[in-house]
């Protein structure tokens, strides 16, 4: 009799607990939350911006419109390249941006977007998620009250739009060029004067002669920005960005205050965006590349192998120099290169060699 009473009490307690948890989860899910998300990319810019619009819609769908993230165009709330401070201070809840735009704070952050002469998508994401890359990024952001998830990755970019054909590295010396991330340091080594501009600012700078040349992204994106109207020579491969991953950067206190279900929605919607965006860029670039040639008279060039080798050597020199003067840069670089060294055993055994390694 006593055992039966204990059993009944335990059963009632368990049922009550489950019901209570269900009600708690349901109540959390019903909580209405509105966030502001400043984007570094225009909402109609293929892949970079459209992925942010899609992400916000997906979160809204998942939450039954209870969790709404409003996408703001570049500059609507803060300048496109200044999301780091805005999210850190909480003046915006989140930013659809890229670590490579925060290198004025920490040069090492560029590693988390793209690395010159780096790996393809699989190896890069493997380092970030399972080789320590994302952990290092989290440690840096935690100092500023920030948290981030990768939000999209895109395929290889092109390495520059030039008004004239470039016959040798020597012809790059003295050029003023918009360039991104770690690749900009390589270009500086070969005599190029670089500056970082947001996407919307590039065309007018190129048109007015503020810059002589530019790189930004890939055919399906660059065609939208109209660089071909001024510069007819587009160079491949994108040695500086074989894969590029960006992030949704959030104010940590505001993220921590979310119900767990909403946190999961952000993480899952961002994860879906990674594969969707990468596949879309790979699917659309062949068409865009051909269209630029046939419709707009663009000449597509491939750098000679000896030029690529010299650029790679310049990159290795950059790593050595930056590591010597910046302990954090060295820490991130060591993590990255150690992972690549270990991965090489698998990569060499399993993958076909590309034309240029």
Whether the pLDDT of residue 19 is over 60: the answer is: no
CB proximity list for 281: less than 8 A, separation 6 or greater = 47, 154, 155, 218, 220, 221
Distance CA 77, CA 92 (A): 8
Residues forming beta bridges with residue 251, ordered by sequence position? 146
Distance CA 254, CA 258 (A): 7
Instruction: Answer for the pair 86, 78: CB distance below 8 angstroms, yes or no.
Output: yes
Residue pLDDT, tens place only, 74-115: 999 999 999 999 999 999 999 999 999 999 999 999 999 999
Position of tokens 């008004």? 163
115 and 102 fall within a common domain = yes
141 and 277 fall within a common domain = yes
Share of residues in the chain with pLDDT > 90 (%): 89
145 and 258 fall within a common domain = yes
Residue pLDDT, tens place only, 107-166: 999 999 999 999 999 999 999 999 999 999 999 999 999 999 999 999 999 999 999 999
Rounded to an integer, the average pLDDT of 45-50 is 97
At 352, the pLDDT band (50, 70, 90 cuts) reads confident
Position of tokens 């990674």? 274
138 and 277 fall within a common domain = yes
Rounded to an integer, the average pLDDT of 201-217 is 97
At 29, the pLDDT band (50, 70, 90 cuts) reads low
Distance CA 344, CA 329 (A): 22
165 and 290 fall within a common domain = yes
3-state secondary structure of 342: helix
CB proximity list for 276: less than 8 A, separation 6 or greater = 51, 54, 152
pLDDT of res. 357: 43
Whether the pLDDT of residue 11 is over 70: the answer is: no
Phi-psi region of 116 (alpha: psi -120 to 50; beta: other; left: phi over 0): beta
Task: Report the CATH number that the domain containing residue 228 is assigned in CATH.
Answer: 3.40.190.10
71 and 137 fall within a common domain = yes
Task: Provide the 10 A C-beta neighbour count for residue 142.
Answer: 11
Instruction: Answer for the pair 196, 80: CB distance below 8 angstroms, yes or no.
Output: no
> With 0-12 CB in 10 A as exposed, 13-18 as middle and 19+ as buried, what is 193?
middle
Strands lying side by side in the sheet with 33-39 = 67-72, 33-39, 94-97, 244-251, 146-154
237 and 254 fall within a common domain = no
Residue 94, domain member (yes or no): yes
205 and 292 fall within a common domain = yes
Residue 74, domain member (yes or no): yes
Domain that holds residue 181: 160-242+284-329
Residues forming beta bridges with residue 248, ordered by sequence position? 96, 149
Greater confidence, 16 or 233?
Answer: 233
Task: Provide the 10 A C-beta neighbour count for residue 312.
Answer: 16
Whether the pLDDT of residue 10 is over 70: the answer is: no
Residue 232, domain member (yes or no): yes
Residue pLDDT, tens place only, 164-175: 999 999 999 999
Strands 94-97 and 244-251: antiparallel
313 and 222 fall within a common domain = yes
Q: Where are the beta strands (DSSP E) in 203-322?
A: 213-214, 233-236, 244-251, 299-302
At 354, the pLDDT band (50, 70, 90 cuts) reads low
* Claim: this prediction has a pTM higher than 0.85: yes
Rounded to an integer, the average pLDDT of 15-30 is 45
pLDDT of res. 278: 98
At 356, the pLDDT band (50, 70, 90 cuts) reads very low
Domain count, the chain: 2
- As a dihedral over the C-alpha atoms of residue 170, residue 175, residue 178, residue 179, rounded to 10 degrees, the angle is 20
Instruction: Answer for the pair 246, 98: CB distance below 8 angstroms, yes or no.
Output: yes
Tokens matching residue 237: 């491969």
At 351, the pLDDT band (50, 70, 90 cuts) reads confident
164 and 298 fall within a common domain = yes
Q: Which residue blocks in 108-225 are alpha helix, DSSP H?
A: 121-130, 133-142, 181-189, 199-208, 219-225
Strands 244-251 and 213-214: unpaired
Rounded to an integer, the average pLDDT of 200-226 is 97
At 26, the pLDDT band (50, 70, 90 cuts) reads low
Residue pLDDT, tens place only, 282-341: 999 999 999 999 999 999 999 999 999 999 999 999 999 999 999 999 999 999 999 999
């Amino acid at each position: 009799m006593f055992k039966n009473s204990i059993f009944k009490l335990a059963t009632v307690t368990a049922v009550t607990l489950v019901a209570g948890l269900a009600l708690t989860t349901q109540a959390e899910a019903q909580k209405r939350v509105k966030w502001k998300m400043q984007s570094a990319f225009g909402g109609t810019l293929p892949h970079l911006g459209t992925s942010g619009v899609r992400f916000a819609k997906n979160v809204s769908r998942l939450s039954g419109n209870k969790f709404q993230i409003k996408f703001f165009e570049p500059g609507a709330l803060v300048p496109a390249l200044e999301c780091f401070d805005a999210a850190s201070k909480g003046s915006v809840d989140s930013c659809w941006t890229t670590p490579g735009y925060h290198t004025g704070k920490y040069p090492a952050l560029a590693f988390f977007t793209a690395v010159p002469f780096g790996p393809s998508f699989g190896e890069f994401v493997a380092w970030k998620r399972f080789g320590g890359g994302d952990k290092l990024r989290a440690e840096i952001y935690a100092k500023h009250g920030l948290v981030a998830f990768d939000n999209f990755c895109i395929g290889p970019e092109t390495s520059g739009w030039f008004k004239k054909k470039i016959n040798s590295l020597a012809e790059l010396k003295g050029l003023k060029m918009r360039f991104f991330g770690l690749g900009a340091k390589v270009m500086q080594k070969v005599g190029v004067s670089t500056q970082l501009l947001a996407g919307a600012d590039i065309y007018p700078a190129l048109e007015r002669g503020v810059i002589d040349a530019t790189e930004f992204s890939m055919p399906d994106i660059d065609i939208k920005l109209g660089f071909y109207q001024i510069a007819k020579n587009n160079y491949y491969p994108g040695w500086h960005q074989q894969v590029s991953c960006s992030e949704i950067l959030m104010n940590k206190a505001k993220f921590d205050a979310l119900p767990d279900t909403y946190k999961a929605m952000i993480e899952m919607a961002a994860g879906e965006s990674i594969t969707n965006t990468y596949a879309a860029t790979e699917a659309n670039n062949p068409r865009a590349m051909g269209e630029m040639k046939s419709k707009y008279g663009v000449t597509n060039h491939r750098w000679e192998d000896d030029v690529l080798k010299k650029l790679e050597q310049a990159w290795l020199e950059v790593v050595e120099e930056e590591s010597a003067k910046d302990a954090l840069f060295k820490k991130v670089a060591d993590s990255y290169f150690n992972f690549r060294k270990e991965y090489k055993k698998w990569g060499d055994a399993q993958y076909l060699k590309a034309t240029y390694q």
